[in-house]
């Protein structure tokens, strides 16, 4: 049986974002229990040239809503990128989940050959919907969710693989 473009995208994006929400909950609880300023965790990064935790959340949101919007051929909602707290990060994830959950299968199915044009620093990148989903949207989403997990884990939050996969 062939998987539809909707089946290969929306459920995976929802699962990744729910897992991200779960690890953020644990990060917030850790900060409270250890009496650490939550901003310290939210501004933590793995390397000086990497984005901090809060930006990883914003980018995971952007990859999700942007990926689904492009596949559906609809406008990508703009979010302000002004989150500074764990509750604000959770609110952003909830808004992203609401947006992607509101896209119907019929809007995405059949997008395998739809041309997706990405504006990159080096110019435009043109991909089919299928190549965009498999080679760009999914890997980018998972990168940012994984990086957020690793930042929290690196800072001492008690996280394991089950936490990352919590939405299974």
- Report the CATH number that the domain containing residue 82 is assigned in CATH: 1.20.120.450
pLDDT in tens, 61-70: 999 999 999 9
User: Comparing C-alpha atoms, which of 118, 144, 168 is closest to residue 12?
Assistant: 168
- How far, in Å, CA of 107 to CA of 15, rounded? 20
Percent of the chain with pLDDT over 70: 98
Domain count, the chain: 1
Angle between helices 5-33 and 53-72 (to 10 degrees): 160
Summarised one tens digit per residue, pLDDT across range 1-53 is 578 999 999 999 999 999 999 999 999 999 999 999 999 999 999 999 999 99
For the chain, the average pLDDT equals 95
Number of CB atoms found within 10 A of residue 37's CB: 9
pLDDT band at 90 (very low <50, low <70, confident <90, very high): very high
Report pLDDT digits (tens) over 104-159: 999 999 999 999 999 889 999 999 999 999 999 999 999 999 999 999 999 999 99
> What range defines the domain where residue 105 resides?
5-164
DSSP string, 106-145: HHHTTGGG-EEEEEETTEEEEEEHHHHIIIIIHHHHHHHH
Give the Cβ contact number of residue 40 at 10 Å. 11
Q: Say what the pLDDT of residue 136 is.
A: 96
Strand partners, 127: 116
Supply the pLDDT for residue 163. 85
**Full-model pTM:** 0.94
Tokens 């300023």 belong to 37
């Amino acid at each position: 049986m062939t998987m539809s473009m909707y089946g290969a995208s929306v459920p995976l994006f929802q699962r990744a974002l729910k897992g991200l929400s779960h690890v953020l909950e644990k990060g917030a609880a850790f900060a409270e229990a250890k009496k650490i300023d939550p901003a310290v965790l939210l501004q933590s990064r793995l390397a000086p040239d990497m984005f901090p935790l809060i930006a990883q959340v914003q980018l995971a949101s952007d990859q999700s809503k942007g990926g689904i919007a492009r596949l559906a051929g609809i406008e990508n909602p703009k979010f302000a990128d002004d989150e500074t707290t764990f509750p604000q990060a959770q609110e952003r994830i909830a808004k992203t989940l609401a947006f992607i959950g509101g896209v119907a299968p019929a809007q995405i199915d059949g997008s395998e050959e739809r041309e997706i044009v990405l504006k990159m620093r080096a110019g435009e990148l043109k991909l089919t919907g299928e190549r965009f989903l498999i080679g760009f949207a999914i890997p980018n989403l998972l990168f940012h969710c994984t990086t957020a997990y690793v930042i929290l884990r690196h800072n001492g939050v008690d996280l394991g693989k089950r936490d990352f996969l919590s939405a299974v």
